[in-house]
Structure 1
């Protein structure tokens, strides 16, 4: 026995622990001594001797005995006073973590350190709590677990507080668990994470302003005993329950994430002081009382659940509040006290009836690409202002009474109501038929836009100052020969009118208190007269006619080229129609989505055999027509040149190619494409597995060819190809038809798919009992592979054709289902059966009945056709050959076959008329009606059976089988079975030749 009594008071005792060892704490009466107790893997000898002594296992776990800490070998350390410190993992964090068990309660008087992750401290008894009188510090990278197991166990009490340090992985987990115990934390600090799980309750008592990590509720109840328990931390609420126990008031959360329901019960939440972007998709519910939400901090809080029901209102004080439709509940004010209110993508909800503005505060509204209408006047006669940011249009209607400045910093402000403020157009555009009692001031690069169509009431202001070069434009198609009211400026005046210039052809004038614009009587046509250059509004003379410049609403023609040319787009170009008619050399339109593009009401026509490349996205809505050549959307970079809302007509002789490189593939808007031309899908040629074009959903109006040059196109059913008459699958591409259905287009295939390991096929058929049927023909343009999933089916009713020498491969390591050819197939190349079953079914034939290609068989070759078939090539491999249907059909083998799989004839006739160097097992048996027959003709060579398998002719009850041997040599290396001794069976073997 070792004793601690002889140790110097300044020394420390080192416990050396092996991996997997449990540690058990038993209740003890501590004695006074000051020491650092280590549990590590240093192998030192201080205090307890060598490593062999200090390696407790099994029953020799770390206990608390009557004399103090003990390593299980009676080497005790008499201590446990406030001056002591406990290091799990050693002073330097070199230990090996394990379990620490307590079944009688224990109080740690001194500081406790977990210097490595992986320890589990378990309270397993009902005789007391585990109490930490001083601070517990968690280090390392990973989880340290505090667990309560069994009924009636004690509590964990962190009376001295808990510090969770940030480790190398930046996520340090601390877990509390149990069936009935309660953990309580007096104070919580650090940048690590805390996870609460189990069925018990946990309490945070202090104002933990020093805790900046994440508190995660998985399945337990977390009680917030202080309004600021998580003021600087993120609450990740994914399960269990959240309880507000400090009384009714506002609870501060540094951030909020998760999916569970927060029930306010009359309390409110202040979220965001941690200044980290967070997103919460759970529900904020009312419970038994009201309660509201306040967004603070500089970061973004995203609320995405339309089921939020809290009724105490929403206050935006700082940062960004991004919300989905309904996510700010449907009741309560929305107070704009600062920060930015941002509509989520696709959300256009009108909150104006609930808006409350604040004196001297600016409300920033971010439409975020949406067109949002505020139908109800707001403002409350406050001195607050409003700033519009983000793309998309913000329409303000009603009578609005705030008096601060309305600033436009991006997108379009469309005023159809009344304002009591001045309008400052810093960027973007302004339009509308409403009025303001203030001044309109425009900065350089901005525009006033008219809606087009018939003339309407103009925007009315109390004066206008064109502080910088300002454009006049239309968002809709203007009528010809029409005078439009641009601005009525009331009793005010116009300053710097010369800074207003029109972006479309027409005449600007100012008379009385009104600015007007008159369109021409006809849209002019401008023809590009150079090679590469910049296409801009009113810019350099690059066109042939008239003033040689372009203005919006002009028709633009690009004709024949002397060389490949790049046209650089500058600004938002709005031609009525763009016609490109090159025959050989390539045009490239280079722009920037959203800023330098073809936009608005424009349309695009591609004629002749040349290629036009749109290297970036465009937003024009007038439609695209491809009459000839290639219109390529994208130049190999991420994304493509789609028109946002336009339709595509691809006529016979034209090709619409979607060409993408790095980044996520953007699938076409399938239903928007019509015509009898070609839709081609391409990427960057690397053949990687990330090029998934999604589920095809062409409409019946597309009657042309879907040409998949690269990547995978999936189908949901037989209607996925609409009215397409042909589908081409190039090498590096795949048609994923595992959902089943009947497909009518003719299919042309080549190659082994899109590079996905185990699924190297051009056509991937049904999975798990599902059948994918191709009623049209399949053409092998080159060596190609097809296959079906496990227990799935791929059936080809049309003929499979192909050039001489082209090989058809069936199955892969992962696709071992059944592939059936049911047509009169004409391909003459070889067949390679990798796995699964290759079936010739119905009235199908290979090589129109006489197939000379070789068959390599590692699966099963199943001949189930009612037609006669001759296979004159070599059948090789270890796969099986089965003839199972057609009492009157005959399968004839005339090649020098080498296969070694089982040969089974259960119906019809198999005739061997060639030599065989392989050894096979033969089973000739079936019902009387099916009359299975094996004919061995005079031309047959040597036939050998396996040494380990019998030659069976009607070897089962109630079967029949016949072997007619007119020549050749049959060597049975095992038994020859004729009939069955115990039941009715009729096996016949006729020798009619040498």
Structure 2
């Protein structure tokens, strides 16, 4: 006892047979100290400075062990570390398979003895307390197969191999030669540090831990049982390397096993991986995490035995040949990126588990090798599933519902074996896909993908989700193609298979110019429900198939290219042009549809000049009608605010109204249909500035409070202009108006055409004739002011025009046509006052072959109340003596052909001797009892030769 020291010198052996309690150091500098009692040196730090400085009659214990002398344990056991000191022992151990060295106490004991050529050899190495370090030493352990002991034990202490240490365990393969329990930890760390094991159990009866890090290596020739009955874990990190023939993680019921592989350059390999048990014992929870650039490879099979078991591949890679589970077990695998690969050795698998995304982002799996992977559960992972070998068979619709499937081998995806209407997150690759009679729904994950393979079968394709699916293969499926969300992009008609195309909320994108022969059906979704997008600026996609839908359908045209419609369709919905243009190549292409033009040039009419019909016209984009007349059959109240140009016209049918709010320049007629409520309403004053408006029913044209400018005005219906001014005639067209124009406003006739008023202008402000001609047989209320360049010509041939008041200004004209005597001539009837200003002109002309006779008189103006002024210029027909008479009392203006006094030979008393006289004489030649007018010039009672000679003598004479 005591605290003093003991130094053994000399060559002899000193045997200590009683237990000692002294705590001072013991140095063996010569000979040996022999343990005759296990407690002979139990409290002393023993420094073995010579080989075999310790010898054994029985097992021994030292407070701590240090020194460089070698120790031969034989069959005995040496325990060191009870005094808690931290020491380094640089000698080597040797023993039989039954020899053991145990580290106890709280301190750290470091073993540095043993080289690759001269190793320490022990039966068992154990840490029962504190830390046992193997620092650069080479140690061989041999396990005899005695279940009561193990070759390497960390329980409850820790064991660390570092600095190039190599610890090798030799045992039968099925013997559990290494045990880590009691919350102990086995650590293998550092470059060239290596643990060569056989079978290792971690957490059998109590928790245990194992770590391989910093380029250290743990290589097991047999099994790792991780979490056999308690919580056990293995962490391989920071470039560490682990390998085993079979790894079982979380084995017995209630156990928890965790395998972590972490960091760039870190690897783990196994021949087989069991999670949650194995055939003889199961019910545990096995969790594997491969992350941060690390890799794990399983040569044959990865099998899940419990639903609570899981795998996470987050930034690492995990490869296995087969991926299976115990029937009825539904484990979870969470993956980031393309971290999971199945099938390398050509094995086939059926997996009932669920795939999901790991924390690092969307994940998928890669199928390689010749075998098949059958997925029987719906999963949520949203990364790419790559089929590079063999096949993936779906047993449920949602197995890959959020994953983009890249088919990179022929017939790599099988949905026909289990007759599945499959949902795919996306579709990519170039391998072919046979969908059989099934429906495949693609795009739920919203990603943009391109599929270059060929889809075949009698089934259908449905595009779902927000992304773009591009089909570039010559697809042969015969079912329909339905686009319900996102977009489907094609570059040729055969990209769509042979069935009809349904647009029900999605977009059909076209690239390039081609003919689309498919029938397109547009569904019953509301606003922005479906879109056709032609991409290229010069692209023209020609729709030769039909287009159908419901009245609530909405078809949007986008993209800078053109969509040409060459067939009559039954589409009754709305066609919106938001970009590019729709080319109407058939008069009935959209005859039941509304057209909303939201971009300039968005509507192109190319139907061979035929009249084109739309159900509605709305929007703000300008377009040219290219000479086509447009018929709008709307039963709703619509507004179009763009500008229509071109030579064609516009006709409003239907019960609704059409408000024109753009400065249209088209020159064709604007027609309102007969009947009720088929109105055209002006939204701006110059909406019809170049078009003749035909008002074909009462109240069917509404100037809507504007001072309107119309190209022309015609029709049979009534028009109320209110208090506004309407100017018309700028298009120089001749028009006829038979209805009644009313209101407190005013009219202005302009342009070069003739406005024939056969109805009535009951406008308080009268009419200004600034250009062209006011004619007809109607009635004009208020003041008619004929300004310079304007003409009033009553009638349409010969007729009476009635006005309240009229003023002929300088440069104005009154044009009168004479067709006969009586009433067969033009007459201007003025109810109140007629005023003729200086510089006004009167034109008199014949029509219908009539020529007035001398003495004929015509009252061409009848102003019963007041007449003032006179025409400065009067133009009469040539060759007659005309007179004009202004009677201010009666308010009339009359023109007359002056009477002529007949001269010799002027039988017809027309003022000259001409053919008319000769013809009359010859008609009566030889007649007895003739008169002078018959040709009896000599008064002898008959028409004879003397009479003929007398007429010929004066032929051509003009009577004075």
User: Shorter-normalised TM-score: what interval?
Assistant: 0.3 to 0.5
| TM-score normalized with structure 1 length | 0.42
| TM-score normalized with structure 2 length | 0.43
Larger of the two Rg values belongs to structure = 2
